[in-house]
Structure 1
Amino acid sequence: MTMVEGMDKVIIVEGRSDKKRIENIIREPIEIICTNGTLSVAKLDEIIDATFDRDVYILVDSDDAGDKLRKQFRREFPEAEHLYIDRAYREVAAAPRNHIATVLLSANIDINTEFLV
């Protein structure tokens, strides 16, 4: 995993569908990293190395797997900011774009305002 130059912020999501869901909502250059659901020690170390000195946001599903991932990040990556989608939607990929936009905006992430409608 290599750091993308000029990107001061990183959003960590579970899967490719989550990444696709949020990348067109975001207006500023942000790297989006997929954990693909599970997180080995090697993968976690890779993420920590790649995100050193950057603002890190965790946006995972509101389900058991997401909660487990979130706990792991809290333990290993305490400085990361956790963003939450409403439990009613359960999955980031299933949440309405306007809801995701509001969640991202609350973390001072620049979004395409058309998604706030």
Structure 2
Amino acid sequence: MRTTNLFILRGRVGQAPKAFNKAAKISVATDRAWTDGKGERREETDWVTVTILNEKSAEWALSNVAKGDAVYAECRIADGSYKGKDGETVYTTDIIASVFHKLDLGTRDDAAA
């Protein structure tokens, strides 16, 4: 049996992408809405940091993606660890994009209409 580690993300960029070695890191906001037990509408935003490891894709993102842009990414979730300053083990969970596109959804106000 083959297994799959696939995370699909569609959201808005929270700040300009940052270069990280030959990669790019991009903070993406996703939001969700629901009605709570009292019948009140609730909303929450989740922030996900996406890492683009492919050098050409990272260069493209650094040059072409800006705060507020709508983006689509197909990613894998990767766990890792490293030794911290005091010798303690620090565990990480990274979102690594294999596909990353800028979407043309208009402005934030247009997308809400």
- Could you say which TM-score interval applies, normalised by the shorter chain? under 0.3
TM-score norm. by structure 1 comes to 0.24
TM-score norm. by structure 2 comes to 0.25
Higher relative strand content: 2
